[in-house]
Amino acid sequence: MSAVDISKDLENATLVVSSEFAAAPERIWRLWADPRQLERWWGPEPYAATVVDHDLRPGGHVSYYMTGPEGDQHKGFWRVLEVEPPARLVFEDGFADDAGEPNDDLPVSRAEVAIASVDGGRTRMTITSTYGTTAELEQVLAMGMEEGIRAAVGQIDALLAED
């Protein structure tokens, strides 16, 4: 299983998630580009993800929800800013209300995904999430963001093993 490294920089309101996989960059890109594959890892167990809209192009929008073990739903969205397959994806990542509209009471981050080949035929994926303030980063950390993203990315190896 690939290690999921997470670093927090409270001063710069940044959370960085790094992992390496035994797959080509193009394969790792498909984890983001194919909504059915995204569903299989974006929601950390036991929160299954369902992608509703998936328009992965600059100006596009992705909406999804995660369903918890009690049937509770947690909605989110991305505003897609930059797309450079298979190497880079940049989007605003936020929480949505019950109607699927942005929830202004919760923070929005700028997420930058970098996908690059490394030695040994492996690929490194780095997700850098930058918040507007340290308080916003602390808020999502208190909500379990670190544990959730570690569990979500930790599911990717099993998905890749199916190939």
CATH of the domain at 63: 3.30.530.20
**Over the stretch 69-79, which tens digit does the pLDDT of each residue have?**
999 999 999 99
Q: Is the dihedral of CA 38, 42, 48, 54 positive or negative?
A: negative
The DSSP secondary-structure symbol of 161 reads H
- pLDDT for the residue 69: 94
- Mean pLDDT, the chain, rounded, equals 96
* Count of domains forming the chain: 1
**Over the stretch 41-100, which tens digit does the pLDDT of each residue have?**
999 999 999 999 999 999 999 999 999 999 999 999 999 999 999 999 999 999 999 999
pLDDT at 121 exceeding the cut of 90: no
Q: Are 86 and 26 in contact (CB under 8 A)?
A: yes
Confidence of residue 1 (pLDDT cuts 50, 70, 90): low
- Quote the percentage of the chain above a pLDDT of 70: 99
**Over the stretch 6-44, which tens digit does the pLDDT of each residue have?**
999 999 999 999 999 999 999 999 999 999 999 999 999
Q: Phi first, then psi: give them for residue 160, nearest 5 degrees.
A: -65, -35
Q: 């994926």: which residue's tokens?
A: 125
Q: Is the dihedral of CA 63, 3, 17, 9 positive or negative?
A: positive
Q: Distance (Å, rounded) from C-alpha 154 to C-alpha 5?
A: 10
Q: Is the dihedral of CA 79, 31, 117, 86 positive or negative?
A: negative
Q: Which domain holds residue 112?
A: 4-161
